[in-house]
Chains A and B, each alone.
Chain A
Amino acid sequence: MHLRKYLLKGLHRLQKGPGYTYKELLVWYCNNTNTHGPKRIICEGPKKKAMWFLITLLFASLVCWQWSEFIKTYLNWEVTVSLSLGFKTMDFPAVTICNASPFQYSKTKHLLMDLDELMKAVLERILAPEASYANTTSALNFTLWNNTPLVLIYEQDSSHPVVLDLFENIPSASVGSNAAQGRTCSAPGCKLAMKLCSLNGTVCTFRNFTSATQAVTEWYALQATNIFSQVSRQELVEMGYSAEHMILACLFGTEPCSYRNFTSIFYPNYGNCYIFNWGMTEKALPSANPGAEFGLKLILDIDQEDYVPFLTSTAGARLMLHEQRTYPFIKEEGIDAMSGTETSIGVLVDKLQRMGEPYSPCTMNGSDVAIRNLYSSYNTTYSSQACLHSCFQDHMIHNCSCGHFLYPLPPGARYCNNQDFPDWAYCYFNLWMSVTQRETCINMCKESCNDTQYTMTISMADWPSEASEDWIFHVLSQERDHSTNITLSRKGVVKLNIYFQEFNYRTIEESAANNIVWLLSNLGGQFGFWMGGSVLCLIEFGEIIIDFMWITIIKLVAFFKGLRQKQAQAAYTGPPPTVAELVEAHTNFGFQPDTTNPSPHVEAYPDEQTLPIPGTPPPNYDSLRLQPLDTIESESEGDAI
């Protein structure tokens, strides 16, 4: 009883007007809301009312649908890109230069002697088998050979391939060995293959090659890796080309520079590499002008005569432009420069800057990638190449229990070699060719959000010219070796010009396509377009919902009260208590303040009453609620047109 009264009072205080039934509330809402449709529902004839009702419903659902579309679009985190192109003073890229041959042959001869002898014998066996049988091969060191021998496969009958060891006197462990075929193999179907065995030669696979050139090159590279992996890093660095020997002249803009300005780094494929302007210890050098005069000019000596003959077949310098503080993956991304020529490289910095999650799937610094970056020991930033290589080395250590020579080692691991890990070659090639391994790595690594490419325009000319050759070589030899003899040749010198082009940057930058302002203005636009509504309309609606709930609560309370009373009535037979009347009375009593305190609406009413319109009774709408029903009925009927 008291509860209901209290609730009614609460409702009354809450809204002052709309009404105490659902219908009243709805009509009040439609009449007073600021959205355009509902008002028309209540003040038209029945046909139009239905039409307007449908239209309003339709528009409301349209708005809801469009809103959901917009919110969906917003949650897609789309981006727009802006492109800028021009010239500005920029940090000159870091330039890494390497020699195509990793080591000086004169310094590695003692290590490679056995292998080279073996290689020569192999070549002789392949090229002129008959002649080589005369020579005894006893002088060779067969420990290298036995680990991974080269075999000839004769595939005339494809179901029974004949496998021949190149050195007949060595007992071959292969299964299909059939000595009846003879010792030579010059028939068309004869192919070289590398035999890879594991578990003491019980499980073997053949790595087939279609050409002998590839086979011997790969075989030599594998053996050389085995040898070099047993040598300490310090010794390897000493065997490579020194900066003093390699970098003859250096000029950056108008500032002279020398080999001392280069940071040395050991790169297993190319030996000693030297990085200019890496920005690790000092600030990166900027370049403020386009053109060859303001770039980096280098003269290098690659000393082709001292190349390891079987390890590399190309001759030249290898160079790469990269960002400061990034590791140069020169084998993958480097370019070659030829000896005896001047190579001019115009640079355009092509930068792509992305927003990162949730806009684009990329990583800012690699911290959210599950693979440990092995190149972090160089203090370099994350790159997807570094991730892929680290991933491979991880797999290698996991599967073969030793690390590959070409990639850095995680703490506690060792490089593979034949003595300690006899199965490593077998294991390595299996892993290397495995598609699943590669796909796992690709899926685990993410690209970096800032991607910088250096677009190069390369042109070449002969250098030095025939007329200037003499004096140039003389001066350079004098400077390097302090000798009056010419110690350089056209086969060894490389000249490089690296400079910014007239437009030196092209930056593609991402920005969010749909921000919260965009979302709100579009939501507002839709609501306004269909229904002329705004946020305030939504608040109005919310208010009505609250009222609605209040009314529901009141009704429920009444219902339960009524139920309880019925039960009580059933229990105690007697005169029915006039609860309903009481409630009514109380309700009316609760309304008393309303009538006595007219709302602002009502205050203006007396004005009308002063208007001298004859014949019309003075309206008293303010007291509408309390009037008997029949009065209104008659009035409305009288007004009907």
Chain B
Amino acid sequence: MAPGEKIKAKIKKNLPVRGPQAPTIKDLMHWYCMNTNTHGCRRIVVSRGRLRRLLWILFTLTAVALIIWQCALLIASFYTVSVSVKVHFQKLDFPAVTLCNINPYKYSVVRDLLADLDRETRKALKTLFGFSEVTSRKRRDTESENPAQKGIQPKFLNTIPLLAFNENEKGKARDFFTGKKRKVSGNIIHKSSDVMQVHKSKETVGFQLCPSNDTTNCATYTFSSGVNAIQEWYKLHYMNIMAQVPLEKKINMSYSAEELVVTCFFDGMSCDARNFTLFHHPMYGNCYTFNNRENETTLSTSMGGSEYGLQVILFIDEEEYNPFLVSSTGAKVLIHQQNEYPFIEDVGTEIETAMSTSIGMHLTESFKLSEPYSQCTEDGHDVPVENIYNASYSLQICLYSCFQTKMVEKCGCAQYSQPLPPNANYCNYQQNPDWMYCYYKLYQAFVNEELGCQTVCRETCRFKEWTQTSSLAQWPSEVSENWLLRVLTWDQRQQTNKQLNKTDLAKLLIFYKDLNQRSIVESPANSIEVLLSNFGGQLGLWMSCSVVCVIEIIEVFFIDFFSIIARRQWQKAKEWWARKKAHPGPEAPPSQQGQDNPTLYIDEDLPTFTSALHLPPALGAQVPGTPPPKYNTLHLERAFSNQLPDTQLTNEF
């Protein structure tokens, strides 16, 4: 026999019953506690004295509970993120810049379409506020053009009448055009004076929206100021008129790129109208986007500073402004990503005429982790809202798409300022007489989060943000004004014949302040490796346990345990069979039901001192053929064996 075998034989001899061969469950438990690698179990078996054993049982159970608790905490906190901020110093992609004139269409061109509306607005102003001379200095001629139409019945004031409300007479309103008093029912909604009751004047102005055939269910909107009322009222009708104009015509009515952009300079190179892409916005008319990746290349900046950014001089033709639609002069600018839809009305920056506006940018890029770490979406494909915009997903696009879809669903037509969903038309009075009532109702519901859009839409996981610092300087300066305006007029000679004024022009500089790009990146705080090693740390700390111990537990408590029970049942059945053969009686098949006999679980308890003492010593004798084992010779027990001649260890065997 090889020397290795010798040692093995020796170890084998020293070993107690091997797990599965243990005659009883109690033996198995004992064997397990003595031989397992986890600490604690062994102390239960070898401890003497009730109190000490009880304490050890308690300690072991506490340790197990602690392990389970700590591991549960570890699992619960698995999906957490850690954030890191990185700075890259590199060539930066220049963002897309969208420029719009605040006034959407040239008034001289659009005047024919709006003639009736404007006349009625003036009339309303005159009746309501006693203001007759509304024409601006240049527009006097147009006013006197068609006096013949004076007698025509006003159609706009009939569809949605402007009303003056008297504070004293609740529920009554005066239709200022007919002068008649009408009864107002339904809810009065203060559009702008909800929060602050600022208006002390007795009369407020507003308008009423009713479903076409039901005048009892009207919604009335009043405004604290007549300015707001007139503008809102005008806007409603304006949208209604514009919804019927085809897109090409609208584009032609608005400003061309050559008109808007007088000079353009980017990164030390001249650029012109060809570098701008047209983007028609329903409320701002023709907008132009610079660097919109039209020929698949994105411009980039390799130096910081205004010299290397975009410098444009914009022509803001103040004479062509619509007096009722817009009341401010200037341009709107929006810095955004190339594939992003420019929500110019929501997030644009306004720039002033006769000024040089410099916008210095810092680029910050954010990356979030999507499911299961947070509720963001990578590209919106998992959001159940159809993207009706021709742009990549964003939260705002989702909200507007959701609203527009609901609008088509509820009102049967689409709202004018947003793109059309497939198979829908823009609302107008000819086809949808009560769309406005429907729209206002729906909009109220949308704002109050009743449509569910806000819960459905999710933010995007990655976004670029350009932090802007804008500052103003006077431009042109006193001494350079003279020559500069002359040269600019020469530059603009193809578009306009008039001598440019400095209030018609605005200078805009957009540039990167430096080439440092900050990235805020979320990364998983835990990985599987870290989780496992944390488990290992917990198991090791409390019980010096490992996966091997877990396998042992499975082995002992599920396989060996049941095999012992099965064996005993089998023996019992055999005995019973033998007895039955001796005394014939009712037959029952030898079954192994003991395997799932729940009462037998009692035995699974670790043998306590008391229970061990009460066990009949004859138990071992039930299995014949086993020679008296010599477990007490096991190395590990030796230290105690001479001190406890009367404990269960010797008692049992």
Contact = CB atoms under 8 A, between A and B. Distances in A.
B412 interface: no
B270 A532 contact: no
Contacts of A24: 2-4, 6-7
A142 interface: no
B18 A45 contact: yes
A110 to B, nearest CB: 18
Nearest to A39: B37
B574 interface: no
A44 B18 contact: yes
Contacts of B639: 604
Contacts of B477: 100-101, 304, 307, 312-315
A426 to B, nearest CB: 15
B507 A314 contact: yes
B85 A508 contact: yes
A327 interface: no
A526 B478 contact: no
A120 B271 CA distance: 26
Given A70-B529, A529-B540, A59 B305 contact: no
Given A522-B530, A601-B635, A188 B494 contact: yes
A106 to B, nearest CB: 11
Given A532-B548, A611-B641, A521 B533 contact: yes
A333 interface: yes
From A44, A314, A384, residue with most partner B Cβ within 10 Å: A314
A635 interface: yes
A473 interface: no
Contacts of B12: 43, 636, 639
Contacts of B638: 604, 607-608
Contacts, number: 327
A331 B628 CA distance: 98
B484 interface: yes
A137 interface: no
B263 interface: yes
A632 B533 contact: no
Contact of A528 (B17, B514, B537): B537
B305 A332 contact: yes
B89 A31 contact: no
Contacts of A210: 263-264, 270-272
Contacts of A44: 18
Contacts of B7: 19, 24, 27-28, 31, 624
Interface in A55-91: 55, 59, 66, 69-70, 73, 78-81
A211 B263 contact: yes
B240 interface: no
Contacts of A21: 2-4
A335 B641 contact: no
B493 A524 contact: no
B473 interface: yes
B529 A458 contact: no
A607 B641 contact: yes
A439 B515 CA distance: 12
Interface in B487-512: 487-488, 490-491, 493-494, 507
B546 interface: yes
Contact of B471 (A315, A336, A340, A451): A336
Given A43-B15, A530-B546, A491 B360 contact: no
Interface string A338-361: 111001000000001010000010
A352 B478 contact: no
Contacts of A338: 355, 472-474
How extensive is the interface on chain B, given as a class?
35 or more
Interface in A608-628: 608, 610-611, 613, 615-616, 619, 621, 624-625
B533 A525 contact: yes
A442 B546 contact: no
Contacts of A453: 362
From A101, A332, A633, residue with most partner B Cβ within 10 Å: A332
Interface in B77-119: 82-91
B303 interface: yes
B270 A309 contact: no
B533 A522 contact: yes
B548 A186 contact: no
B535 A26 contact: no
B356 A127 contact: no
A427 interface: no
A47 to B, nearest CB: 11
B474 A314 contact: yes
Nearest to B626: A641
B483 interface: yes
B256 to A, nearest CB: 14
Interface string B409-440: 00000000000000000000000000000000
Contacts of A199: none
B82 A80 contact: yes
A335 B84 contact: no
B630 A619 contact: yes
Interface stretch (A162-170, A430-438, A475-483, A575-583): A430-438
Contacts of A522: 529-530, 533
A407 B129 CA distance: 63
Contacts of A624: 6-7, 10
B569 interface: no
A42 interface: yes
Contact of A527 (B90, B91, B473, B536): B536
A532 B549 contact: yes
B260 to A, nearest CB: 13
Interface stretch (A212-220, A231-239, A280-288): A212-220
A607 B529 contact: no
B197 interface: no
B563 interface: no
B532 A608 contact: no
A325 to B, nearest CB: 18
Interface string A312-331: 11111000000000000101
Contact of A532 (B21, B37, B87, B632): B37
A59 B548 contact: yes
A492 to B, nearest CB: 9
A314 B356 contact: yes
Contacts of A625: 3, 6
A208 interface: yes
Interface in A142-182: none
A438 B472 contact: no
A529 B302 contact: no
Contacts of B599: none
Interface string A499-540: 000000000101001000000011111111111110000000
A520 to B, nearest CB: 11
B641 A211 contact: no
A40 B87 CA distance: 54
A607 B551 contact: no
B238 to A, nearest CB: 33
Interface string B8-24: 11111111011001000
From B268, B467, B479, B539, residue with most partner A Cβ within 10 Å: B479
B196 interface: no
B3 A59 contact: no
Nearest to B523: A78
A335 B533 contact: no
Contacts of A305: 478-479
A209 B270 contact: yes
Given A343-B471, A636-B12, 20 more contacts: A23-B3, A23-B4, A27-B4, A44-B18, A209-B270, A214-B263, A214-B270, A304-B477, A309-B479, A313-B475, A315-B477, A331-B305, A333-B514, A362-B87, A442-B90, A446-B89, A456-B469, A524-B537, A532-B540, A616-B628
Q: Which 6 A-B pairs have the closest CB atoms?
A: A529-B536, A525-B533, A23-B4, A332-B305, A315-B477, A532-B546
16 contacts: A23-B5, A27-B8, A80-B84, A123-B487, A211-B264, A309-B479, A309-B483, A314-B477, A329-B305, A352-B85, A442-B302, A447-B89, A491-B478, A531-B547, A608-B641, A635-B13
